[in-house]
Amino acid sequence: MSLAQILFYAMAFIAIASALYVASSKNLVRGIFMFFVTLFALAGLYVLALADFVAVSQIVIYVGGILVLILFAFMLSGKETLDSLGRQKDKFVNSGKIPGLVLSLLFFAVMVTVLLKLNADDLGWIKQSVASGNVIKPTDNGIHNIGINLMTTYLLPFEAISILLMMALVGAAHIARKEQDA
């Protein structure tokens, strides 16, 4: 087993375990901070998939932006939120949660079965790109190529998503503003 594989299994374990903790903990703040750990482990997994730039953007946008926003909203929503959380049922599995648990476990079973049957490493286009050398190597510097592709092949989606981001931010500011007269 190579070092990359050991790192992969360690990070996958950290990501899944902390995600399970987020799903099961009663304490919302602790859950949010464990979500940090999940996101960092996922960034590590992206690095192991040789997508350095995506990993860096993940850390900048998620950890720097989204989680701070979530904490901000959590602080603004006050004490009653904490109280209503404390009044929830204590156990991880109580009768209200069994349908959700069963549904998600069944969904997981279906997905794993399909993935094992699919055996993604034997897909035609993947074999083809391995044969033609179209695979990112650990020594490559991919950011240059990503920038060029972003400004040529994917220029239209890039512009569309920048407009969408601006619209979403303006809309969020509009929704969250103080009402003058209800």
Partner 1 sequence: MISLNDFLIVGAALFCIGLYMLLTKRNAIQLLIGIELMLNAAILNLVAFGKFDRVNNSGQIFALFAIVLAAATTAVALAIILTVYKKYKTIDPGKVNSLKD
Rounded-to-integer distance, Cα 45 and Cα 18, Å: 14
Query: For residues 81 and 180, which CB has a smaller minimum distance to partner 1 in the complex?
Result: 81
Taking CA atoms, 116 is separated from 15, 48, 76, 121, 139, in Å, by 21, 21, 45, 10, 30
User: Shortest distance, CB of residue 112 to partner 1, whole angstroms?
Assistant: 6
User: Shortest distance, CB of residue 67 to partner 1, whole angstroms?
Assistant: 9
Q: Which residues of 147-164 are buried (b: 16+ CB within 10 A; e: fewer)?
A: eeeeeeeeeeeeeeeeee
User: Where in 39-58 is the site for partner 1 (CB under 8 A)?
Assistant: 39, 42, 45-46, 48-51, 53-54, 57-58
DSSP 179: P
155 contributes a contact to partner 1 by CB under 8 A: no
27 contributes a contact to partner 1 by CB under 8 A: no
User: Shortest distance, CB of residue 164 to partner 1, whole angstroms?
Assistant: 6
The long-range contacts involving 108-114, CB below 8 angstroms and separated by at least 24 positions, are none
User: Shortest distance, CB of residue 162 to partner 1, whole angstroms?
Assistant: 8
163 contributes a contact to partner 1 by CB under 8 A: no
Place of tokens 């990503």: 146
Q: Which of 33, 36, 37, 146 binds partner 1 (CB under 8 A)?
A: 146
Query: For residues 80 and 90, which CB has a smaller minimum distance to partner 1 in the complex?
Result: 80
For residue 26, which of 80, 68, 87, 76 has the smallest C-alpha distance? 87
Query: For residues 161 and 181, which CB has a smaller minimum distance to partner 1 in the complex?
Result: 161
**Contact characters 93-132, partner 1, x per CB under 8 A:** ---xx-xxx-xxx-xx--xx--xx--xxx---xx--xx--
User: Where in 57-86 is the site for partner 1 (CB under 8 A)?
Assistant: 57-58, 61-62, 65-66, 69-70, 72-74, 76-78, 80-81, 84-85
- Cα 161 to its chain centre, rounded Å, is 19
Rounded-to-integer distance, Cα 141 and Cα 76, Å: 43
71 is written with which tokens? 């904490």
